[in-house]
Amino acid sequence: MTPILSHLDPILIQDLTLAYDAHVVLDRLSLAVPAGSITALLGGNGAGKSTTLSALLGFTRAQSGTIAVCGIDPAANPDQTRRRVAYLPENVALYEHLSAVENADYLLALSSQRQERGAIVDALAAAGLQERAWDQRLGGFSKGMRQKVAIAVALLRQVPVLLLDEPTSGLDPRATADFNALLAAVRERGTAVLMVTHDLLSAADVADRVAFLEAGRVALEVAASGPERFDVRALHARFQIGSERLAA
């Protein structure tokens, strides 16, 4: 299924092909994420999810097709692209010797979007980090606590595009629900969100579209509709089919 691309969409990918030597990772991939929407990209290991994020961040260059973030080619202008993107990786690199507040302050300063302490602690609280941890060094933090700090930093960035790589990894169900509520608020301010995840239930709770990536292309894209939003059983069955195809 090829989406209809618009110049207004902050994330645009059309017929993108990317290969390493003879191994094709993205095979004429097409995907669009409009402003003020959340797209969840699901797929098994080797489907091309991480490569898609890498291409959007300008770390890899495709052999053919087009890709744009806010109208900018990430491979040709990576610095301009990254100024418009907040990226939350699965394994967050934070500074062990700094506190949660100090990490957020430093990382925001690097992006020239420094915030007052009040805004930082509000974001940490909204991400589910308890007050007693705000001024503790990260050396003793669990993976889930580190993830909450990174989530707070990503959400404090006032940028048009948010890229998430397994954002609920390490979070308990309550923290996942809190995170989804934060994403809904980000969508309301007009941000385009692309979330790469294995967490189908979380994706069904918050995404406007769920796209299944198989062998480097979108095999199926489903839009939320009605009070139930998605048929989760059908989505799970489709996810299993795609994973089995990759494993075969």
pLDDT tens-place string over residues 139-195: 989 888 888 898 888 888 889 999 999 988 878 888 888 888 888 888 998 999 999
Mean pLDDT of all residues in 126-139: 92
Residue 156 CB-half CA count within 13 A: 32
Round to whole Å and give the CA distance between 163 and 85: 7
Q: Is 17 exposed, middle or buried (0-12, 13-18, 19+ CB in 10 A)?
A: middle
**CB atoms closer than 10 angstroms to residue 237:** 11
Band of residue 248 on the pLDDT scale cut at 50, 70, 90? low
CATH 3.40.50.300 fits 1-84+160-248, yes or no: yes
Domain ranges of the chain: 1-84+160-248, 93-158
Has residue 4 got a pLDDT over 50?
Answer: no
| pLDDT, position 194 | 97
